[in-house]
Chain A
Amino acid sequence: MQFEGKVWKYGDNIDTDVIIPARYLVTTDPQQLALHCMEDADTMFASKVQPGDIMVGGSNFGCGSSREHAPISIKGAGISCIIAESFARIFFRNAINIGLPILESPEAARDAEKDDVLSVDLVAGIITNMRTGKTYQASPYPPFVLEIINAGGLVPYTRNVLGIEITG
């Protein structure tokens, strides 16, 4: 998986309440949720984000509640990948589980500026900043996590584990 996208840059401790405020948690529809994604941190994001754009955060990205609506809204908004210095634990699992690629690379996250273009090789974990030409190696995924990613998320992974065939 290789992709390129424009950077939306945010700071440390971006919490799930600013990613998707609780007042919108009356739906599970990704498109509905995407309309309010990042609303309390950046009022421009939801209307200006382009499919394939990359979100960059500081440390502890996605802290706060366990709402899976947070990565769902980001994925629904068309973000192809999140790169951060570090992720909150539940957010990390949620993103992997729903098939939203996320990479931990403190250096790449710190160096990236708004509107930079990053190129990401997800399998190799290599990030290239097209403005500076600099490349970064992201932290490798633990083996379990890689299995889930390779299966395409936790739902298909579970089907594999339980030997359930998809019918219809």
Chain B
Amino acid sequence: MGKTLAEKIIAAHAEDVESVSAGDLVTVTVDVVMANDITAPIAIESFQAMGVQQVFNPDNIMLVPSHFAPNKDIKSAEQTRTLATFAEQQTLSHRFQVGRAGIEHVVLPERGLVLPGDLVVGGDSHTCTYGAVGAFATGMGSTDVAFSMATGTTWLKVPETMKFVYHGQRQPWVYGKDLILRTIGAIGVDGALYRAMEFTGPAIHDLPMSDRLTMANMIIEAGGKCGFLPFDDVARAYVEARATRPYTAYHADEDAVYHSVHDFDLSEMEPQIACPYSPDNVHPISQVEPEKVDQVFIGSCTNGRYEDLAIVADILQRTGREFHPDVRVMIIPGSQAVYLDALREGWTELFTVAGAAVSVSTCGPCLGGHMGVLASNEVCVSTSNRNFRGRMGHRDARVYLANPAIAAASAIMGRLAHPDEL
């Protein structure tokens, strides 16, 4: 019987077993353990409470200060220092300082630190992003992260896999973001609970890596455990240019057993919007009231990559327009590498002249931390992944999730807008 990607990668990491099937409980070795400035402090506390002296491997532990970076207040500064002190004590090989890093889910794939066939445990729910390069990557809480830092292992239930197949030609202004929003809208925020998601089909092979990372990023918004995009030529080229060590790429078997298979025809699909207050409240843009917006946020681990900023730059250059004077536009590159690219491309100037606040890389407004927190009843179009109540600020603020082109058009028009309106 054929195997899914999740089954193959878990089997390769499982102790004393040749093959595994959905439903099995197994102990596995982990290749990479990640935590951020919010989750690492508790992980470090638990690690110390376990009485463990040393991490299992100082080369494989990544502590990335991203959420409140640069430190937004004294308490967050203390948290970041906890990370730095621990990294120093444990002589971790990879250090992620403000100004040299960014959001973990942008930085780790970009630097080739998470690779095909890896098993990654991360103290952040969007760890599933690394499925875009073919890693089994899943979010866990801090104490689970501490266990993995201590032992180099974790326990897992082998997930069932749902397969998503995308056909047809993508329409203009439709990106990976729209594919994943459409998918979450179709199956719901618990539609993939405890399961893996494999994204395949001819339309997927057309997508650049940035769009694939966006799709894998939002698996958790459907409740998924992990997910995978195919290791094809596009993925190989991306990984080969970055890999920091040898890796093994896996492919799902033709006769793998799936929980379910879902087909999507993209030929008539419009850009998709997730309306307040849930990532599964998804509608095609033509069906959404063109509400006036107070803020537009372009960035995050979902859409803060080079290609995302390129879309915004292209719209500004092609239309010669500026952002609407009544809208606060925050453009925040997902990593310092992206920030530098934006500088070199002249986009930092372009965005600033158009009226945006462009900043160093941080999660910032995505989780209502800083750099653009919303007041009551304010409306925001955001390229991030969550629009829960209170996520970006006041509980009555309303967040629409969209792709970068919609975000840019909305920032120009001062209301939710389609780029064709420009």
| B-binding residues in A (CB < 8 A) | 13, 15, 17-18, 21-23, 25-28, 39-41, 59-60, 63-69, 71-72, 86, 88-90, 93-94, 97-98, 142-144, 153-155, 158-159, 161-162, 164-167
Contacts and interface: CB of A to CB of B under 8 A. Distances in A.
24 contacts: A18-B388, A22-B67, A22-B391, A26-B68, A40-B390, A59-B190, A60-B190, A63-B190, A64-B220, A64-B386, A66-B122, A67-B39, A68-B42, A71-B141, A94-B140, A94-B141, A97-B141, A142-B25, A154-B46, A154-B143, A155-B49, A159-B50, A162-B52, A162-B150
B50 A164 contact: yes
B390 A66 contact: no
Contacts of A13: 189-190, 278
A23 B38 CA distance: 11
A60 B223 contact: yes
A17 B390 CA distance: 7
Contacts of A93: 140-141, 144
Nearest to A41: B389
A36 to B, nearest CB: 10
B94 interface: no
Contact of A17 (B220, B223, B389): B389
Interface in B19-33: 25
B143 to A, nearest CB: 4
A21 B368 contact: yes
Interface size range of chain B in the complex? 35 or more
B73 interface: yes
A43 to B, nearest CB: 9
Given A25-B38, A64-B388, A154-B143, A142 B157 contact: yes
Contacts of B250: none
B122 to A, nearest CB: 8
B68 A161 contact: no
B386 A17 contact: yes
B389 A40 contact: yes
B75 to A, nearest CB: 4
Contacts of A158: 50, 52, 146-147, 150-151
B13 to A, nearest CB: 16
Contacts of B45: 28
B38 A94 contact: no
A123 B359 CA distance: 52
A58 to B, nearest CB: 10
B369 interface: yes
Contacts of B155: 144
B395 interface: yes
B225 interface: yes
Interface of B: 25, 38-39, 41-42, 45-46, 49-52, 67-68, 73, 75-76, 79, 122-125, 127, 139-144, 146-147, 150-151, 155, 157, 189-190, 193-194, 220, 223, 225, 278, 367-369, 373, 386, 388-391, 395
A13 B386 CA distance: 13
Contacts of A21: 368, 390
B41 A159 contact: no
A93 B144 CA distance: 8
A126 to B, nearest CB: 24
Given A23-B369, A97-B144, 9 more contacts: A22-B368, A26-B68, A26-B76, A28-B42, A40-B389, A93-B140, A93-B144, A98-B143, A155-B50
A89 B223 contact: yes
B51 A67 contact: no
B51 A159 contact: yes
A63 to B, nearest CB: 6
A58 B232 CA distance: 40
B188 to A, nearest CB: 9
Given A13-B278, A28-B42, A86 B52 contact: no
Given A69-B42, A155-B143, A17 B388 contact: yes
